[in-house]
Structure 1
């Protein structure tokens, strides 16, 4: 569980870090900083995480969920949030309203059944020569489309060539973006009118069939929507809870300002 989600304005010459009189020493800050090495301001991120953790620790001790001096763990944080920050479950009506307002998000994927012949780019094959061979084969297939499988078996640098170039059923996200754009951002059926250039080389592509995605009924996505809305409400509730804790705390060495967004992930 990440706790470094409270924003803090930059501060110069920050010295001692304390939360309600509890001092967090430089050694602890240095140890925590190791977990934030990828951030832009490692020191600041470490102080934020430790300050929030101390706030939650103190609250857990106050609630009797943790003994003084014991370490805070995720289970205790969860129990604290359950006690102080109960999360309402979205109603059926709320889920239905969300589905109605966001129906475009709930569709079955578009499908394309396609074949291709790949003319791969390699260090020993200049692009101009590879393109020329691909264009020649494309012209031949424009005249004799029935030769596609045979040419795929003899010319394609893709393993699919041994299956006549058959790629089977494709949906978005299963191929590289440039290839995906060529086959999905079009309604063309049959031999695509030009070569498709990708990071792998030049492709001759035949689209055999398209199946457009359809809107999914509420019943099919009810659980998905309920989980999404529950998580959304949870994050908002936690945001408000940490805002309350921060506003009532005496802090030195850091100023906590809850930023919009999710505070615990």
Structure 2
């Protein structure tokens, strides 16, 4: 990335260093071969950050960093940005009427977590070891080619699995969200009942052939159960809208060169 291709970013006379934008660009995605988009996203983010810090200074606010998590404390800049938004934004309380209306739009959205009855065959390997992973994948492909699609055939071939579940025909029992690795769970969310993965699936444990025996869909939850979650989501959305409006107001009153605050 050639820094000379990009103009300096200046916000109300304050220049943002190219090195800072380059570092921030690592946190933004861009299509392959188009690093300029990541640069523009980074320049925009730092321009907004600078605007908010300038506003905090204009209001005479002091930084009072808070602990965000064990071992993670806000930086002074983060504390100042939080302080200026807390002072500037006024969010109307979410009413029960608004929460109930959001719920009534589609109560079916609010369900308990599903359960999946699952079997698998594991060809174990360390995915970081290329040769071992290739051998395990080839072995999994060979097993998959021998499957005839029924549960009995799957259980029979599961005796070749590297998982302790081979003693029960590869049966893992009922799994819920978070009970297995992300790659495995992603497959469970797409397989039909009685379906088997058409190709082996790689996880940190090795290559899996996965069969979804049955699905127990989550039940629609009553309004009182989901009310707090809906209220929290509405409050978060209102805060996001208010913060965007505030930043747009600051931008209209500012002189900014080298960056655009329009959506990228």
TM-score bracket relative to the smaller structure:
0.5 to 0.7
How far off its partner does 1:233 sit?
Answer: 0.6
The Cα shift of 1:36 comes to 1.4
Normalised by the length of structure 1, the TM-score is 0.66
User: SS at the partner of 1:112?
Assistant: strand
**SS of residue paired to 1:197:** coil
Aligned to 1:14: 7
Q: Corresponding residue for 2:224?
A: 219
1:94 aligns to 2:98 (yes or no): yes
Distance (Å, rounded) in 2 between the aligned partners of 1:29 and 1:254: 11
1:134 aligns to 2:147 (yes or no): yes
Distance 1:112 1:90 in 2: 36
Distance in 1, matches of 2:122 and 2:6, equals 60
Aligned residues: 224
Write the deviation string for residues 123-157 of structure 1: whole angstroms up to 9, x where unpaired: 3866785356433xx67937xx9xx5xx4774444
> Residues 71-121 of structure 1: CA distance to partner in whole angstroms, max 9, x if unpaired?
962222122112111222311111111111132321113323344556889
Asked if structure 1 preserves the Cα contact closer than 8 Å seen for 2:147 and 2:157, the reply is: no
Q: TM-score, normalised by structure 2?
A: 0.66
Kept in 2, the 8 Å contact 1:179–1:198? The answer is no
Once residues 34 and 206 of structure 1 are traced to their aligned partners in structure 2, the CA distance between those partners, rounded to angstroms, is 44
Contact 2:120 2:172 in 1 (8 A): yes
- C-alpha RMSD over aligned residues: 3.8
Question: Mind listing any 5+ residue stretches in structure 2 that lack a counterpart?
Answer: 29-34, 64-74, 125-132, 202-206
Q: Does structure 1 retain, via aligned residues, the 8 Å contact 2:116–2:212?
A: no
Match of 1:81 in 2: 85
- Compared CA separation, residues 224 and 179, structure 1 to 2 (3 A): closer
Q: For 1:105 and 1:244, how far apart are their aligned partners in 2? A: 35
Aligned residue for 1:181, secondary structure, equals coil
Q: Secondary structure at the match of 1:167?
A: strand
Aligned partner of residue 147 in structure 2, secondary structure: helix
Q: Does the 8 Å contact 2:91/2:238 carry over to 1?
A: yes
- How much has 1:65 moved relative to structure 2? 0.8
What is aligned with 1:109?
A: 113
Deviation at residue 122 of structure 1 after TM alignment: 6.7
1:36 aligns with 2:25: yes
Farther off after superposition, 84-93 or 35-44: 35-44
Structure 1: unaligned runs, 5 residues or longer: 1-11, 187-191, 261-265
Report SS of the residue matched to 2:224.
helix
Alignment of 1:181-196 (within 5 A): 181-182=190-191, 185-186=192-193, 192=194, 196=197
